[in-house]
Amino acid sequence: MCSSVRILARLAAGAALSFFAVHAYAQDQPVPQTPTIKVDVELVNIFFNVHAKKGGALIPNLEKNDFTVFEDGKQQTIQHFSRETDLPLTLGLLIDISASQTRLIDIERDAASAFFSNVIRQKDEAFLISFGKDTELLQDYTNSPRLLTAALRDLRGDGITPMIGNIPVNQGPVPTIGQPKGTLLYDAVYLASNEKLKTEVGRKALILITDGVDEGSTYDIRTAIEAAQKADAIIYSIYYVDRAFYSGGGFMIGGGGGEGYLRKMSEQTGGHVFTVDKKHPLNEIFKEIQDELRNQYSIAYESTNPKRDGSFRRIEIKVDNPEYRVQARDGYYATPNDVQ
């Protein structure tokens, strides 16, 4: 049974950066009135991929000494390094059901169902959100591809598009007088990040299937990106456009978005944009995302700047081979750790 979650009914919550907190306890031999010494070390953890600059192939077999990490331009000491192929994954799939996407929903449903069947393992969790005029949680956290597939069957477009022959007419995220409501993309990203992923640990990712248009969101793109960064969530955007819809008269007035905005959200969180076309169908894109999620590296370090003042710290990971490039988020918010 679907549960509706309305973005507009929620206020922005205080955000907290997800760190790996390592607690080391040291205690002398028990003597009267000798206190226990507790040392808390907060590690900044980054999941990332490495690709060949030519062709974009994943590079899966690098070692710790192949990388150098900088925070705000200062080199950091890598304290933990691993290649993550089997670490539990927390995943959110956000699907655009606005009028401009209505004719694509069946394709999206089938490809997403196959993706869940292939990628979700017993220790993983996923949820499904649709967004258009409203934002709806179709399936909460589950590790069951069967339940996720059942929820995908509940996907419905925001409305039936009027047609002249086989051409859609003058539909899309067109605003009404006052606050327009058409495609709540940024609200959906904020909701998924702030209310679903922020309190989770480990590897976290959002997959967006959309043409990138936002119309009527309460939150802007900057706030959506900030929420994803504070949740340590990687955004993979699938840019999927019904060209016939727009060429047939559907268009967007006011609002904003598009491929460039999706690229901004993805690149700033460590993901990237995939474009669906005849040579690059949706099912192949899901396979590429699956490969990225199962071939990540993890680096953790203790920042040389111990202040937890809420400021944004820029991160750069360099790889020593000039033929490779690193795909990683560009920073984090140094918010105090909630772990006591």
pLDDT at residue 84, as a whole number:
85
pLDDT class for 240, splitting at 50, 70, 90? Answer: very high
Please give the average per-residue pLDDT across 206-210, as a whole number: 97
Please give the average per-residue pLDDT across 119-144, as a whole number: 95
Amino acid of residue 281: P
User: Taking a C-beta distance cutoff of 8 angstroms, is the pair 100, 245 a contact?
Assistant: yes
Neighbours of 208 (CB within 10 A): 27
Q: What would you measure as the largest C-alpha separation in the chain, in angstroms?
A: 89
Q: What is the pLDDT of residues 256-295, one digit of tens each?
A: 468 999 999 999 999 999 999 999 999 999 999 999 998 9
pLDDT at residue 66, as a whole number:
98
Please give the average per-residue pLDDT across 205-222, as a whole number: 95
Look at 103-107, 246-250, 297-301 and tell me which has the smallest mean pLDDT. Answer: 246-250
Mean pLDDT for the chain? Answer: 82
pLDDT at residue 158, as a whole number:
84
The yes-or-no verdict on residue 11 having pLDDT over 50 is no
pLDDT at residue 55, as a whole number:
92
The residues, any chain, with a CB within 8 Å of residue 164's CB and separated by 6 or more, are none
pLDDT at residue 230, as a whole number:
95
pLDDT at residue 181, as a whole number:
60
pLDDT class for 41, splitting at 50, 70, 90? Answer: low
Go through the domains of the chain in sequence order and give each one's CATH number. Answer: 49-85+295-340 (2.60.40), 86-279 (3.40.50.410)
The yes-or-no verdict on residue 160 having pLDDT over 80 is no
What residue has token string 């220790």?
123
Q: What is the pLDDT of residues 91-125, one digit of tens each?
A: 999 999 998 898 999 999 999 999 999 999 999 99
The yes-or-no verdict on residue 235 having pLDDT over 50 is yes
Neighbours of 162 (CB within 10 A): 12
pLDDT at residue 337, as a whole number:
64
Please give the average per-residue pLDDT across 8-16, as a whole number: 35
pLDDT at residue 149, as a whole number:
96
| Cα distance between residue 188 and residue 159, in whole Å | 19
pLDDT class for 185, splitting at 50, 70, 90? Answer: very high
pTM: 0.80
User: What's the chain's Rg over C-alpha atoms?
Assistant: 22
The yes-or-no verdict on residue 25 having pLDDT over 70 is no
Q: What is the pLDDT of residues 319-339, one digit of tens each?
A: 999 999 999 999 999 987 643
pLDDT class for 229, splitting at 50, 70, 90? Answer: very high
Of residues 248 and 33, the one with the higher pLDDT is: 248
The residues, any chain, with a CB within 8 Å of residue 11's CB and separated by 6 or more, are none
